A and B are shown apart, each in its own frame.
Chain A
Amino acid sequence: MPVRLKINGKDISADVDTRTTLLDLLRERLQLTGSKKGCDHGQCGACTVLVNGRRINSCLSLAVVHDGEEITTIEGLANGEQLHPMQAAFVEHDGFQCGYCTPGQICSAVACVKEGHAKSDDEIREWMSGNLCRCGAYPNIVDAIKDAVAKNA
């Protein structure tokens, strides 16, 4: 089934099996492997991407549903070689250990700030609860998001 998407600003056309999730389209067909498959059941948040600016779990959404929509993945956040302020904040605050959950954490954090849900440590923890980090880098992730807010990310 044909599907057309704007991914990270670029128009993409693909012919997909109806069963293809947005995550599998990104990773397996378009080689955008930044978005990660953690649980594949919407429980971990590693697959978080932005669709028309809103964060979703790309593992629980079929690619065909998003025909004509704009997708932003971790690969689309930086401006050329210049990291997105949230990416820079994660690096500065060591907001990861193994890094597997990080693309999802950062996409989620960008949306969290944009939604206005990053006004305190508690609020950040609650509104980032859909992104699990098995290394337990949570304190540094909160610090990174707070810093990005302070720097107006």
Chain B
Amino acid sequence: MNPFSYTRAVDPQQATSVIGSNASAKILAGGTNLIDLMKMGVERPTQLVDINRLPLTQIEELPNGGGVRIGGLARNSDVAEHPLIVQRYPVLSQALLAGASPQLRNLATTGGNLLQRTRCYYFYDPAFPQCNKRQPGSGCGALNGFNRIHAILGQSEQCIATNPSDMNVALAALDAVVQVQGAKGARSIPIGDFHRLPGDTPNIDTNLQADELITAVDLPAIPFATRSHYLKIRDRASYAFALVSVAAVLDLQNGKINGARIALGGVAHKPWRAQKAEAALQGQTADEKTFRAAAEAELAAAKGYKHNSFKIELAKRAIVRALSTAAAMA
């Protein structure tokens, strides 16, 4: 690990002013991804700004029935088991509990999880010379390499990495809004605009600016989100990243689909909101035939590589199963 100086932030303004003035400074929250990447030599900050003591851990109702606000420092374990989340947004609780291990969830924060970096082997290990995300212009080792865990939707010739988070997938389905504070003030970023597709700049994961700190994530009030399900498919029963995952939220009325929100994990550089599938479900009868047609519509544009083509059919079946599970909920 390279040497770095350590600053304990006393308030969010100080934290944003440090990262705004030192391009090689990084915010330190739970550290479960950052410290690991520093050990690997992928991240090499010269200064860490520890925000763990800032009062950003709240999980509370927004006024006037406006939903729920989750502080940027709320730990994944605390969010997953909070009654407001368990009761109103079960898909988020399930997604969080499907991720990592209890020990990691006790450290990992909401803001940190949003900024989790890809687990692409070629990115994570600097022994591989090619990675446009780690070293722009060096090429993509995964494109013609071992690409079993890689993207099938929205990828580019420069990068086929996936976003590894489960939480982000649920947040995408729930239309979450990321609240950030920068040197010039605060702004809100809809979750769909927070993460980026790789395009020609896969080195930039998100639209968060260099001086911005995630202070909270807001979940809008969605009464039908009680009918929601997170399905994660992976190589072992627990403690593994998703090959494919699905966050499904269904608004059912008398067996007809009044609205659906679906997001996919493990298939793209960002949590993939399945808008084509959602459109195909609108107004239809909630049955397996409808679900399969919606899945086909979403995956029509999918492109597989040597080792990950299985993900296309897997994603379709996962969508059908997640929707069927949500539809069967009482």
Contacts and interface: CB of A to CB of B under 8 A. Distances in A.
Interface of A: 1, 17-19, 21, 40-42, 45, 48, 54-57, 60-62, 64-65, 108, 111-112, 115, 117, 125-127, 129-131
A48 B106 CA distance: 12
B47 to A, nearest CB: 10
A57 B28 contact: no
A115 B238 CA distance: 18
Contacts of A108: 102-103
B290 interface: no
A1 B4 CA distance: 12
A19 B103 CA distance: 21
Contact of B31 (A40, A62, A117): A62
Interface in B26-50: 28, 31-32, 35-36, 39, 48, 50
Contact of B101 (A19, A40, A64, A129): A129
A62 B35 contact: yes
A115 B102 contact: yes
Contact of B36 (A60, A64, A65, A125): A60
A41 B106 CA distance: 16
A56 B106 contact: yes
Interface in B88-108: 100-104, 106-107
B14 to A, nearest CB: 17
B31 A56 contact: no
Nearest to B32: A60
A115 to B, nearest CB: 7
Contact of B106 (A19, A54, A117): A54
Given A60-B31, A111-B102, 7 more contacts: A18-B3, A42-B103, A55-B103, A60-B35, A129-B101, A130-B100, A130-B101
19 contacts: A19-B4, A21-B35, A41-B39, A54-B106, A55-B106, A56-B103, A60-B31, A60-B35, A60-B107, A61-B31, A61-B107, A62-B28, A65-B50, A108-B102, A112-B102, A117-B102, A127-B102, A129-B101, A129-B239
A34 B35 CA distance: 22
Contacts of B3: 17-19
B50 A45 contact: no
Nearest to B4: A18
A40 B101 CA distance: 15
Contacts of A64: 6, 50
Contacts of A42: 32, 36, 103-104
B52 interface: yes
Nearest to A68: B53
Interface string B1-15: 101111000000000
Interface string B201-236: 000000000000000000000000000000000000
A125 B238 contact: yes
Contacts of A61: 31, 35, 107
B125 to A, nearest CB: 11
Contacts of B104: 42, 57, 60, 130
Interface in B106-145: 106-107
Contacts of B39: 40-41
A95 B102 CA distance: 20
A18 B107 contact: no
Nearest to B236: A129
B72 to A, nearest CB: 16
A65 B104 CA distance: 16
B266 to A, nearest CB: 18
A26 to B, nearest CB: 15
Nearest to B101: A130
B32 A57 contact: yes
A130 B32 contact: no
Residue with the highest number of chain A CB atoms closer than 10 Å, among B3, B48, B103, B237: B103
